[in-house]
Amino acid sequence: MYEYAIAWDWLTFAVRWLHVITAIAWIGSSFYFVALDLGLKKHPALPPGAYGEEWQVHGGGFYHIQKYLVAPANMPSHLVWFKWESYVTWMSGFGMLCLVYYAGADLYMIDPAVLDVSKPVAIAISLASIAGGWIMYDLICKSPFGNDNTRLMVALYFILVAVAWGYTHLFTGRAAFLHLGAFTATIMSANVFFIIIPNQKIVVADLIADRKPDPKYGRIAKQRSTHNNYLTLPVLFLMLSNHYPLAFGTQFNWIIASLVFLMGVTIRHWFNTRHADAGKPTWTWIVTVILFIAIMWLSTVPKILTGEPVTKLSAIQQPFVEAQAFPKVRDTIMGRCSMCHAKEPSWEGIIAPPKGVVFETDRDIAAHAREIYLQAGRSHAMPPANASHITDEERRLLVSWYENAVNGEKTQ
């Protein structure tokens, strides 16, 4: 059923749209609150229990915000919570993981030259690593080791480096980066769900019951919220990295990912210091630029191929290669696409296969049949600006080849 390919594509669009919108809402509100928090001014006329205040102007009005460090003396009648931004970002992100990486595990997740596993095993590794990551992180934070914030952050950084290395030894480079992002983002969202919001609820329950809330709950939430703050920028890089094969598809991809985490810290540190009115730490930008140059340099080392390229076809791929039209399809792809979509592209200005999409073997073509159909058959997205002059007749050939193969028809 070719309708399935179209519906699937739009479904991934809808979930991705939701994911981006909720992520903007989540990151936007959390960056706002971090900046607000750092910029609070103390003065003697504040009401009892208030820690600091800030005046802001936005959209034609003035806002006067006061922060109560543990809690106000009485429960306000109306209280706004910030949690769904985070929860829906996680849920839609998990949806994307299922739609793109689990459903397309053969293509996007499993690289038999890295680890030859079946689809269910790859999915199990993915789920276990993401859930296990949160459990491990949470235990470390709660252990006595977590009492020293700096020591904790340094240890967590080295854990992330190990995880980056680990993922690149389990999955394709693209999936490895995405998983490192999902691993980190799950920790962030779980911090909100399991720690920050429940602690806040304990404080609210205390207020309602006229008990004095324990300040430790706020302190713990603040520690987790600080981690989230420093992890945000690297997660964004990792989530967008699939557009950049030079990041994920080169030999030292795991070192690149590790340096991205450091850049996240140096960039955030500049803003955090500025918002706290504590000077201008220009050195953070110098370090950021050095890290960025190091990343660019590392990305010039090509991936060393181990083992033979895989040519074995899966049951889903077989009909595309067995189709009568296949020889012509192959000629079309080789003639109109492979100048860019090759391990070593010959098209001027393209140095790595765009989005990691390579068309060299019959299996490559069969594995990407749906993408070929959507990008070059049904739509005119590929070749870009029709750079390689594909004809309408060739596009029709790609469409009928795909549709016939998925409908199980033997075109005679």
Q: Write b or e for each residue in 362-377: b if 16 or more Cβ atoms lie within 10 A of its Cβ, otherwise e.
A: bbbbbbbbbbbbbbbb
What character string, x for contact with ligand HEC (CB under 6 A) and - otherwise, covers 235-264?
A: --------x---------------------
User: Closest approach of Cβ 343 to ligand HEC, in Å?
Assistant: 14
The three-point CA angle 325-330-331 to 5° equals: 100
Q: Which two tokens stand for residue 300?
A: 């010039």
Return the number of the residue (39 or 354) whose C-beta is nearest ligand HEC: 354
- Which stretch, 101-109, 154-162, 215-223, 349-357, contacts ligand HEC (CB under 6 A)? 349-357
110 vs 337 by CB, closer to ligand HEC: 337
Q: Does 375 bind ligand HEC (CB under 6 A)?
A: yes
Least spacing, CB of residue 246 vs ligand HEC, in Å:
12
Burial class (CB in 10 A: 0-12, 13-18, 19+), 358: buried
Residue 366 in contact with residue 318, Cβ under 8 Å? yes
Q: Does 382 bind ligand HEC (CB under 6 A)?
A: yes
Asked if 142 interacts with ligand HEC (CB under 6 A), we say no
Distance CA 101, CA 105 (A): 5
Site for ligand HEC in 326-345 (CB under 6 A): 336-337, 339-341
- How many other C-beta atoms are found inside a 10 Å radius of the C-beta of residue 245? 22
Q: Which of these ranges, 21-29, 94-102, 262-270, 368-376, lies near ligand HEC under the rule CB under 6 A?
A: 368-376
Selected range binding ligand HEC among 85-93, 102-110, 138-146, 352-360, rule: CB under 6 A: 352-360
Q: Which of 372, 397, 405, 406 binds ligand HEC (CB under 6 A)?
A: 372
Report how far apart, in Å, the C-alpha atoms of 227 and of each of 45, 212, 216, 234 are: 33, 27, 17, 12
Q: Smallest distance, Å, CB 302 to ligand HEC?
A: 19
Radius of gyration of the chain (CA): 25
Only segment of 17-25, 32-40, 282-290, 371-379 that touches ligand HEC (CB under 6 A): 371-379
Distances from the Cα of 195 to the Cαs of 20, 85, 220, 341, in angstroms?
A: 24, 16, 8, 46
Check residue 378 for interaction with ligand HEC (CB under 6 A): no
Q: Which of 269, 274, 355, 363 binds ligand HEC (CB under 6 A)?
A: 355
**Residue number, 250 or 284, with CB nearest to ligand HEC:** 250
Tokens for 103, please give them: 């459903």
* Interaction between residue 396 and ligand HEC (CB under 6 A): no
Given 233, 267, 357, 405, the residue binding ligand HEC (CB under 6 A): 357
Q: Are 103 and 7 in contact (CB under 8 A)?
A: no
Separation CA 3–CA 7 (nearest Å): 6
* Per-residue tokens: 149: 């914030």
Burial of 352 (0-12, 13-18, 19+ CB in 10 A): buried
Task: Give the closest residue to 242 by CA, choosing from 332, 314, 176, 329.
Answer: 176
Distance from C-alpha of 127 to C-alpha of 121, rounded to nearest angstrom: 10
Among 28, 47, 49, 384, binds ligand HEC (CB under 6 A): 384
Interface with ligand HEC in residues 82-141 (CB under 6 A): none
Task: Name the residues that contact ligand HEC, by CB under 6 A.
Answer: 243, 336-337, 339-341, 347, 350, 354-355, 357, 368, 371-372, 375-376, 382-384, 387-388, 390
